[in-house]
Amino acid sequence: MALVEGKVAIVTGGTRGIGFTIAREFLKNGAKVALAGSREETVNEALAKLAEEGLADNVMGIAPKLTDPESVKEAFDAVVARFGRIDVLCNNAGISSRTPLVDYTLDEFEKVMDLNVNAVFVCTQAAVRIMIEQGEGGAVINTSSMVGKHGQPSGSAYPTSKFAVNGLTLSLARELAPHRIRVNAVAPGVTHTDMVDALPDSVIKPLIASIPLGRMGEPEDIANAYLFLASDMADYISGAVLPVDGLSRP
């Protein structure tokens, strides 16, 4: 079943990990996809990987600075020029942090907030302006995290940023409902990507052992939730923060 047939979707942080898998699954399910990365080089590598899998058609790469409204507008206009419209925005780019409070610099704290929150605001505003003009509704899906509900014992900028993502999700869902633009979030638990591979065994092993469904999440688990929330099957769902975490509730 082609869940998102004919829809045009933008996926930020689409060059690897969860975002790359979202882009790939959307393509397999009939969407046209603009994959956004921070550098043209990594965007081209991701496009080449998709081409190897026979998914070269219906995909383009963009590399805007996600916190810069002008840069994002220019990139999203290029998506409209190529694919004619924007139906779905997947705000997925994000960085993590594990710094203890006493060692944090304000710069580091702000860097996490900038990408994880400000970029979501900038990209959503740019995409929604286009969706409102189209007048046919749309879907915004944000990547939150299980720590956006429970907190975590270090790197407080990261859970703080995801609480903010949840706040934006719930508020914009209400604000944009009259335009039939649905705003939801997916809250992954520990998911098998570079972000997790970068963690030491001493952190990751006890985390996996504590997951009731007995395994780490795979990027496909997260992409499936994105597919559902982007599809017309979720036409009556807005303002949800959907946990996809194997029941991990630390």
Residue numbers of the site for ligand NAD (CB under 6 A)? Answer: 13, 15-19, 37-38, 66, 92-96, 115, 143, 145, 188, 190-191, 193-196
| Known active-site residue 158 | yes
Smallest distance from the beta carbon of 146 to ligand NAD, in angstroms?
6
Nearer to ligand NAD, 188 or 246 (CB): 188
Residue pair 92/143 in contact (Cβ under 8 Å)? The answer is yes
Token digits for 148? Answer: 């956006």
The one-letter amino acid code at 113 reads M
Query: Got the DSSP string for 46-62?
Result: HHHHHHHTT--TTEEEE
Nearer to ligand NAD, 38 or 154 (CB): 38
Token digits for 226? Answer: 């994105």
**SS3 label, residue 167:** helix
CA distance 230 to 233: 8
Nearer to ligand NAD, 73 or 179 (CB): 73
Q: How many CB atoms lie within 10 A of CB 101?
A: 10
Q: How many CB atoms lie within 10 A of CB 149?
A: 17
Please tell me which residue in 104, 158, 226, 236 is annotated as part of the active site. Answer: 158
Nearer to ligand NAD, 3 or 62 (CB): 62
What is the radius of gyration, based on Cα positions, of the chain? 17
DSSP β-ladder status, 88-91 and 59-62: unpaired
The one-letter amino acid code at 71 reads S
Active site residues per annotation: 158
